[in-house]
């Protein structure tokens, strides 16, 4: 049975979906179920291989982080994954990609059912990523900020041989500071631009976003990855935003000062990570575009999904090997190919999704 818990309190932002409120700035509800799965089980949830199921839609950038971390760390056998389809309604993400529209492990049609199994009157939005306790079929946590940190630091007994240290102790303070800055200025910054409810709010957030991207462009002119020669949690957090930028945020969210492809360091960094095992092989462009352009009816009322842009250049060469490189860290190695059941549909990859 899950530990006794109190659902997060409700407030005026009880609907977690991203919607435009006329005349207002976008304010993301950041109150999540903050239980943690740890080695010592301090919250009542001990790390146990096979006990939990990660629910992570490929369309969602916050969930994409967890899929990348799980791949890099080699947690596929210890932590199963369920993947909802790319669209949802105001109630919940649904398992419409699975046979019969039902998650084969949990037996649920909607992720909402896992939340209600723990909190009968859960008052907030039903979000991914979420980790569900399989025996009780009840949600444990949807705290996307903490989940990947715990996968890196608490699930070490289940890491693959050669797993990178994504959250090295000596760099944690700097990684945490960079992650906080990126969350507000970039990861959520694109949403602040896209869902601004007034011209003034839009222009303020637009300038803040591009100022942050300019800072990252400069930073990535000094090292291969955000923290130096090796991959860390910071790269796991930035990549899902960058890979969605030109297909979605540039046009759909009006973040259109220029394309990412016109920024040499950010674009080559994105291409580098896209072709790095564990990153690009988690990305499904068809699901990403369908999610944003179909679900956000207040921004795109026709729900027409664009055919472009041409994503083939993601597979072209990059210049990042000019920097000192130790991608996987001391004694680390690249992850093996994804499980056959988790391979992205080839029709949803760059060479096919734009008709090349």
303 in the Ramachandran plot: left (φ > 0), alpha (ψ -120 to 50) or beta? left
Pick out the residues of the known binding site: 93
> What whole-number distance in Å separates Cα of residue 130 and Cα of residue 53?
8
- Fill in the DSSP letter of residue 53: E
What is the distance in angstroms between the CA of the first residue and the CA of the last residue of the chain?
Answer: 51
Q: Is there a contact between 83 and 107 (Cβ–Cβ < 8 Å)?
A: no
State the catalytic residue, choosing from 60, 122, 202, 249.
Answer: 60
Q: Is there a contact between 207 and 199 (Cβ–Cβ < 8 Å)?
A: no
Cis status of the peptide bond prior to 234, with omega within 30 of 0: no
What are the structure tokens assigned to 56, written together?
Answer: 């992570």
Assess whether 19 carries a catalytic annotation.
no
Assess whether 60 carries a catalytic annotation.
yes
Instruction: Please list, in sequence order, all residues whose beta carbon lies within 8 angstroms of the beta carbon of residue 144, skipping any fewer than 6 positions away.
Output: 32, 62, 63, 65, 66, 127, 129
Alpha carbon 282 to its chain centroid, in Å, reads 10
Which residues pair with residue 52 across a beta bridge?
A: 133
State the catalytic residue, choosing from 191, 202, 249, 293.
Answer: 191
> What whole-number distance in Å separates Cα of residue 194 and Cα of residue 268?
25
Pick out the residues of the known binding site for glutathione: 93
- The residues assigned a catalytic role are 60, 191
């Amino acid at each position: 049975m899950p530990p006794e818990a109190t659902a997060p309190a409700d407030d005026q932002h009880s609907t977690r979906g991203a919607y435009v409120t006329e005349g207002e700035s976008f304010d993301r509800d950041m109150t999540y179920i903050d239980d943690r799965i740890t080695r010592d089980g301090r919250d009542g949830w001990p790390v146990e291989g096979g006990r939990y199921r990660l629910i992570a839609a490929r369309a969602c950038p916050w969930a994409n982080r967890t899929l990348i971390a799980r791949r890099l760390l080699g947690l596929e056998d210890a932590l199963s994954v369920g993947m909802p389809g790319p669209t949802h309604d105001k109630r919940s993400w649904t398992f419409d990609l699975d046979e019969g529209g039902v998650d084969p492990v949990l037996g649920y049609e909607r992720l909402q059912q896992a939340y209600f199994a723990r909190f009968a009157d859960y008052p907030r939005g039903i979000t991914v990523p979420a980790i569900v306790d399989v025996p009780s079929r009840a949600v444990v946590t949807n705290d996307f900020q903490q989940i990947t940190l715990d996968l890196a630091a608490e699930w070490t007994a289940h890491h693959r041989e050669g797993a990178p240290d994504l959250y090295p102790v000596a760099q944690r303070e700097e990684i945490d500071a960079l992650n906080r800055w990126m969350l507000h200025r970039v990861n959520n910054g694109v949403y602040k631009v896209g869902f601004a409810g007034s011209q003034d709010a839009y222009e303020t957030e637009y300038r803040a976003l591009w100022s942050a991207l300019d800072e990252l462009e400069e930073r990535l002119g000094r090292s291969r990855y955000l923290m130096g020669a090796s991959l860390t949690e910071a790269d796991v957090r930035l990549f899902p935003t960058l890979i969605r930028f030109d297909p979605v945020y540039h046009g759909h969210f009006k973040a259109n000062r220029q394309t990412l492809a016109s920024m040499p360091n950010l674009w080559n960094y994105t291409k580098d990570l896209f072709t790095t095992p564990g990153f690009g092989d988690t990305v499904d462009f068809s699901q990403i575009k369908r999610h944003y352009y179909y679900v956000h009816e207040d921004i795109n009322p026709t729900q027409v999904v664009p055919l472009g842009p041409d994503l083939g250049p993601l597979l072209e060469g990059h210049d990042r090997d000019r920097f000192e490189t130790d991608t996987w860290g001391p004694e680390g190695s690249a992850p093996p190919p994804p499980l056959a059941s988790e391979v992205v549909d080839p029709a949803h990859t760059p060479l096919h999704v734009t008709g090349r």
